[in-house]
Amino acid sequence: MTAQTAFFVTGTDTEIGKSLVSSAMLHALAAQGLRAAGMKPIAAGAVLQDGVWHNEDVDQLAAASSVKLPTSLACPYLLREPAAPHIVAEQEGVAISLAHIRSCYTQVSAQADAVIVEGVGGFRVPLSDYVDTADLAQQLALPVILVVGMRLGCLNHALLTADAIAARGLLLTGWVANTVDPSMRHADDNIDALRARLPAPLLGCIPRLPQASAAAAADHLDFSLLPAWPGATARAFV
């Protein structure tokens, strides 16, 4: 048995809110009584706690998941230094294998009704001399959720990312506007510009939250706009 619902979450940059949106999705899925599992196949930046290496993003996904996974499946490549994955992997003697990640995803999918896979950095972050996160997304062949960090420059970043997703033959199925710069000028106009240009529905706008929790973020998002969301009514997006 494999998961009936699965999405790949990417962003316009690093530190843009991918983990917040991914955990919000997991929270909403678990609230429906589904076995929801979160994966972040590559994470760069870990701290040692009680003899165990932890990554904040991986822990956030685990906390929102209703399926508890061993770290070896939830994050097959947990790198120590918070830097570009291909650089850190080489320093740590790690060879990132897309086939291994695919195998881990298959194992996770067999245990869950829904799987959320969070990418690392933006959509074209190098993982080695030969592959990047776009290759990973292509290997998994999942519908893509794009998290747009709302700040100056987001229009170009979002539209280029959407083009890159389409170029890999992947479906951009929804996008989220996440407030990164609360003082951004003309934020609503920027959101309107993206709504007119991105070929997918806006799932919602997350303001600057006093406490950035999965539940708080989920309150600002409407996942029923996703055609593949459990219980959603099929609808055309124009």
Based on the residue annotation, tell me whether 40 is a catalytic residue of this protein. Answer: yes
Active-site residue (options: 27, 40, 151, 157): 40
Taking the alpha carbons at both ends of the chain, their separation in whole angstroms is 34
Q: What are the DSSP calls for 115-176, one per residue?
A: EEEE-SSSTT-BSSSS-BHHHHHHHHT--EEEEEEESTTHHHHHHHHHHHHHHTT--EEEEE
DSSP label at residue 232? P
Strands 47-49 and 52-54, bridge-based pairing: antiparallel
CA 131, 136, 137, 139 torsion-angle sign: positive
The tokens describing 206, both together, are: 């997350």
Active site amino acids? 40
